[in-house]
């Protein structure tokens, strides 16, 4: 009887999971396998696909200079976004973990950019970056800067401009995750350290950071993955320009697939990006495991 009851419970669980499984199959698994198959073909969506084996992948690594520029841009974008967004998110979490007046309001204010659409944010910041009438350059001129940057039209400043916007948007998300981690740190440890005469700085380095290691690892992995998938800001704010200074891997995939209709080549680049992220995540997991073992 108990075995039959257990079997019925299992079937009920599967029935509840069925919509999610069907959704995953239709919108994730099938497109994933399809894109892998298409990556071995030359296909412009108008004519019949032509099988070329590893031709697309060979072209990526031997002929396509724009791919390497996009990869370099994506790498520097991640280098600029990930450390700063994590550090500022942690700082905001530490600040908003205190008992201060209007704490709920401040947490909401910090999190608002996360809930705002990428398109809306990109359009607003594009106006702010306007070299002539944008608020940023107007303020810089008020403070005595005679020739402020042209921001989105400068090959030097375009990528940092997008990095600034991304950091501003992602601080709130990292803050919420860090807040959850901070609230799981036993208060008794701080009380004992305070009795022993430890300073706030020592408690941060000896208690807070070590106990936040799993949270930090999670945020780092997610931040790197999101950074390598940057698309909306580059498309709306600069369209990959000026030149190719803000062209990123996902934007390049979009251009190849939907602008030039090289679906096979776009799929191949997408799989290269997948492998890059897989390798980076595996390295992070290995390093984190070694630290925990030590």
pLDDT at 1: 47
β-bridge mates for residue 51, sequence order: 41
pLDDT attached to residue 199 = 87
pTM metric for this prediction: 0.91
Rounded Cα distance between 269 and 20, Å, is 28
pLDDT of residue 5: 56
pLDDT of residue 82: 96
- The predicted pLDDT at position 7 comes to 61
Q: What is the pLDDT of residue 69?
A: 96
Q: Domain coordinates of the chain in residue numbers?
A: 57-293
3-class secondary structure for the chain?
CHHHHHHHHHHHHHHHHHHHHHHHHHHHHHHHHHHHHHCCEECCCCCCCEECCCHHHHHHHHCCHHHHHHHHHHHHHHHHHHHHHHHHHHHHHHHCCCCCCCHHHHHHHHHHHHHCCHHHHHHHHHHHCCCCCCHHHHHHHHCCCCCCCCHHHCCCCHHHHHHHHHHHHHHHHHHHHHHHHHCCCCHHHHHHHHHCCCCHHHHHHHHHHHHCHHHHHHHHHHHHHHHHCCCHHHHHHHCCCCCCCCCCHHHHHHHHHHHCCCHHHHHHHHHHHHHHHHHHHHHHHHHHHHHHHC
- The fold of the 57-293 domain, in CATH, is MetI-like fold (1.10.3720)
Please report, in tens digits, the pLDDT of each residue of the chain (294 residues total). 456 655 677 777 788 888 998 999 999 999 999 999 999 999 988 889 999 999 999 999 999 999 999 999 999 999 999 999 999 999 999 999 888 788 888 888 889 999 999 999 999 999 999 999 999 999 999 999 989 999 999 999 999 999 999 999 999 999 999 999 998 888 888 889 888 888 889 999 999 999 999 999 999 999 999 999 999 999 999 999 998 999 999 999 999 999 999 999 999 999 999 999 999 999 998 988 887 776
pLDDT at 288: 84
User: Tokens standing for 268?
Assistant: 């191949």
- ∠ at Cα 148 (147, 152), nearest 5°? 130
């Amino acid at each position: 009887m108990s075995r039959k009851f257990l079997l019925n419970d299992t079937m009920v669980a599967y029935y509840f999971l069925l919509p999610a499984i069907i959704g995953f199959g239709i919108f994730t698994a099938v497109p994933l396998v399809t894109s892998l198959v298409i990556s071995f073909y030359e296909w412009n969506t108008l004519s019949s696909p032509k099988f070329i084996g590893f031709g697309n992948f060979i072209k990526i690594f031997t002929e396509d200079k724009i791919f390497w520029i996009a990869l370099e841009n994506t790498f520097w974008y991640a280098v600029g976004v990930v450390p700063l967004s994590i550090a500022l998110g942690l700082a905001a979490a530490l600040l908003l973990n205190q008992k201060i007046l209007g704490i709920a309001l401040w947490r909401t204010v910090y999190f608002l950019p996360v809930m705002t659409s990428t398109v809306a944010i990109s359009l607003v910041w594009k106006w702010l970056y306007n070299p002539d009438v944008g608020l940023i350059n107007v303020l810089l001129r008020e403070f005595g800067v005679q020739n402020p940057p042209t921001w989105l039209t400068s090959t030097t400043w375009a990528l940092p401009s997008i990095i600034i916007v991304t950091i501003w948007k992602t601080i709130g998300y990292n803050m919420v995750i860090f807040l959850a981690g901070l609230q799981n740190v036993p208060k008794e440890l701080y009380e004992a350290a305070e009795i022993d005469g430890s300073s706030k700085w020592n408690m941060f380095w000896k208690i807070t950071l070590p106990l936040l290691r799993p949270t930090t690892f999670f945020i780092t992995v997610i931040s790197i993955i999101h950074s390598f998938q940057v698309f909306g800001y580059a498309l709306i704010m600069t369209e990959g320009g000026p030149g190719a200074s803000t062209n990123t891997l996902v934007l390049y995939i979009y251009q190849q697939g939907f602008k030039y209709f090289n679906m096979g080549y776009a799929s191949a680049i997408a799989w290269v990006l997948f492998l890059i992220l897989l390798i980076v995540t595996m390295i992070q997991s290995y390093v984190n495991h070694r630290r925990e073992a030590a």
